[in-house]
Chain A
Amino acid sequence: MKKITALLLVLVMVLGLVACGEKTPETTKPQTGNNGETTPVVEPSNEPDTIVIMAPPVTGEYLNNLKVWAADFNKLYPHLTVEIIETSWGDHSDKLSTMAQAGEAPDIAEISSGALGTYVEMGVAIDIAKYMSADRLADYDANAVEYMSLEGTTYGLPLYLTIQSIGANKTLMEELGIDVAKIQNEGWTYEEFLDVIAKGTDGNRFGFVFANAGVTASDMLNIFGAGVGLSNNFTADLKYTFTSENMLTLLTAIEEMTKSGYMPNYGVEAGQRMVMCQTGNAMIFGKAMPLFESNFNKNNAALEANDGTAVENSLPMEYAFLPVPTMMGCAESCYGTVDGLIAMRNKNTTDEHLANVLLFMDYICSGDRIASCMNELYLDPVCQSGRDALVLQEGRDEQNLATAGRCIAMVEAPPAGVTAEMTATAKKMMDEHIVPKFQLLLAGEATAQEVYEYICEAAYDAFGAENCVSGKIG
């Protein structure tokens, strides 16, 4: 009897909990695409409302600035209060994913465009065009907005378009007689790049180093892939690109580099590559971004001040942001991703609330708010109001600035028509098959041909051979 009573008590408790866990009825239905539809813009209401935003430190000052912007916004719209959930880069995506899965996503969250498909598939991303005016949406560069869109539906606003390429010890390159300005202005081929890193290699120094340990190996694929026509997972006719001849060329080039002795033949951690350059142990390093100019300048100042804050054993040097070398005669390109803010659905979402959410999202993604962020990141704003408000920081290297501008212009947005499912499959393909096999290539445990054949086989299995490129792109 006691056992039965205990069991009953447990069952009642469990059923109670299950009942508590039942989803509340949806206040708004998930939005469908806005392909050519003229959907009415939902107007914000004047009812008191709280907007929740979750963001990591996008820049050093971003979270502090966000508090100021939230207060300023509240002055403009006294009925709207902003609540900020601060995260670190380390836990941001896990926290966001967990909250979204539980139906308790924040109203606004920072994401990289690569993760958009996951949230669209999950059904928590919002079609923002329905909640903000076309005029305001037009303020943002179409190329950048494309990154925050899937199947013609826009789910978020871009914060910035970041470019990733390679960087160098400009001082050393010039000492070796290498025309850095020409490379920055006109680009270079893979063969020229090999000659340069050969020149930069001596007994104590590698001509080139790339952080490729663990998951960072994918950076090398993406960055050098841009130089061989592999800027996107899919072609304009929506065929998977990593099965093309271009991929084999890329893998062969990387195999050649790792065996050349011009770069380390062991795994280099992300934190080591810039230090290797600053200490004179490497001439060119990757991945690199325009922002690194600031790190080099700060280190030079620390060396001059001799205050002990400079990188140990580092040398004074100028930084050059370099374009990625091209292969197979492909057009010059640059790997770029967009980070942005997306609007998300949670259990309390209503149309009026979403209109308020978009009001704040637009406020912090544009104007002098975004301009100040971009100054910190050494990037150009991706909206007109941001560009108008931008007052360029003094002391920036003209040549690096021009190269960054040239590279940003070369970034190719994903083709239209890619579905959330295709994006998710491509991500899984990259994480579970391409990167692991690429790590083998870097470790010298597989040949480029073997890796290529495996990737083709896995891609045919995932997408179907008819949906994969055979032959050359570009």
Chain B
Amino acid sequence: MNGTKQPRLATQRKFRFTNDDLWGYIFIAAAMIIFCVFTLYPVFNAIYTSFFNYKPFGSEFIGLKNYVDTLKYSKFNLFYKAAWNTLVYTAVVVPSTLLISFSVAVMILPFSKKTQSVFKAMYYLPGVASGVALSVVWLWLYDSSPDGLFNQLLSVFGIPAQNWLSSTKTSMLSLMIMALLSSHGTQIITYIAALLGIDNSYFEAAELDGATFMQKVRFIVWPLVKPTTLFLLVTGVIGSFQVFMNAYMMTGGGPDNSTTMIGLLIYNNAFEYGKYGLACAQAILLAIVIAIMSMFQFKMMGVDVEY
């Protein structure tokens, strides 16, 4: 009998809500409230709104119509074109950014702490500037007239002036170049931190075995920074799928919608056309796509990665 009673008493003691528990909840309440107000509530509200023809005074329930309208295939439905543009942008920008950041980090690493800090600050600096200010500078660089800075640079090599942002041949490329040349700070700093965490004994052993620089990078550095790469890849893809500012400021989505990204499409539906429900449905679909992409990346790359 005693033997059966004792575990029950132990279990009861385990689930008693103590004073400590109360204080624990009070301490995490601030974070929980912020999370609920600024993340959870907007997400639930967006899901809820996506089933309505939203109007501030008297929304009309329309079921899945916003989803159907978004996914209904037609050559005039911009959603697929925007999705394709976003995918192409992501496929080029994210891996290129990681490669550039990794290369720069490897090159910075041999320098002294002081020199490293100077480089880190230099690469991080564009991230401090506002996106709008950066866009203005890039608009100036992409001036399509023969006097434009990039066009003058091309003329040195005998290449004719380009209609950078106004031609479908160069508009997406222009946005990609802009992304590739102005946002590496965070990735470089993260990679340097990861590189500094690699034990020196690996390199010493490799040197004894006569490994070249590239062999050390391939067989020691790259596998050991894989968790960092996975993290940067996942966050990079998420950020890239949500890209908005570049297209909004530089091209407005044109020409011929060649730079219309999903983020811009959602913004236009919500704030240009007042189709809040439709915009919410598109935002939810985007979130689902991002979640699937992230899961896929973890599945593919995260097998031997531990956090």
Contacts and interface: CB of A to CB of B under 8 A. Distances in A.
A266 B162 CA distance: 8
Given A1-B15, A214-B252, A119 B274 contact: yes
A440 B168 contact: yes
Interface bin, chain B: 35 or more
Nearest to B40: A14
B271 A94 contact: yes
Contact of A445 (B144, B167, B250): B167
Interface in A22-68: 23, 26, 30
A85 interface: no
B44 A436 contact: no
A428 B273 contact: yes
B256 A266 contact: no
A431 B144 CA distance: 23
B182 to A, nearest CB: 20
A9 B168 CA distance: 52
Nearest to B140: A269
A191 interface: no
Interface stretch (A95-103, A141-149, A241-249, A314-322): A95-103
Interface in A347-370: none
A302 interface: no
Nearest to A349: B57
B302 interface: no
B36 A443 contact: no
Contacts of A23: 56-57
A387 interface: no
Nearest to A120: B274
A102 B56 contact: yes
Interface string A111-132: 0000000110111100000000
A26 B166 contact: no
A323 interface: no
Interface string A1-24: 110011001100110011001010
Contacts of B45: 18, 21
B115 interface: no
Interface in B231-268: 250-257, 268
A186 interface: no
Contact of B37 (A17, A94, A100): A17
A208 to B, nearest CB: 15
Contacts of B167: 443, 445
Contacts of A447: none
Interface residues of A, number: 60
A103 B57 contact: yes
A424 interface: yes
Nearest to B139: A269
Contact of A214 (B21, B25, B251): B251
B56 A101 contact: yes
B274 A13 contact: no
Interface string B116-130: 000000000000000
A239 interface: no
Contact of B257 (A121, A267, A272, A436): A436
A439 B255 contact: yes
B57 A345 contact: yes
A443 B32 contact: no
A317 B257 CA distance: 39
Interface string A424-460: 1001100111011101101101100000000000100
A10 B35 CA distance: 10
B163 interface: yes
A129 B21 CA distance: 62
B39 to A, nearest CB: 11
Contacts of A433: 76
A215 B252 contact: yes
Nearest to A440: B256
Contact of B256 (A2, A119, A121, A437): A437
Interface in B16-50: 17, 21, 25, 32-33, 36-37, 40-41, 44-45
A103 B56 contact: yes
A123 B276 CA distance: 13
Contacts of A345: 56-57
A461 interface: yes
Nearest to B151: A266
A123 B57 contact: yes
Contacts of B139: 269
B215 interface: no
Contacts of B257: 432, 436
Contacts of B41: 14, 17-18, 21
A202 B15 CA distance: 89
Contacts of B17: 5
B165 interface: yes
A436 B163 contact: no
A266 B163 contact: yes
Nearest to B29: A9
Contacts of B273: 118, 424, 427-428
A264 interface: yes
A462 interface: yes
Given A2-B21, A442-B166, A217 B271 contact: no
Nearest to A28: B57
Interface of A: 1-2, 5-6, 9-10, 13-14, 17-18, 21, 23, 26, 30, 93-94, 97-98, 100-103, 105, 118-119, 121-124, 212-215, 217, 264-269, 272, 345, 424, 427-428, 431-433, 435-437, 439-440, 442-443, 445-446, 458, 461-462
18 contacts: A10-B36, A10-B40, A18-B41, A21-B45, A93-B271, A97-B274, A122-B55, A213-B165, A264-B145, A267-B166, A272-B145, A345-B56, A427-B272, A431-B272, A436-B255, A439-B256, A445-B167, A458-B76
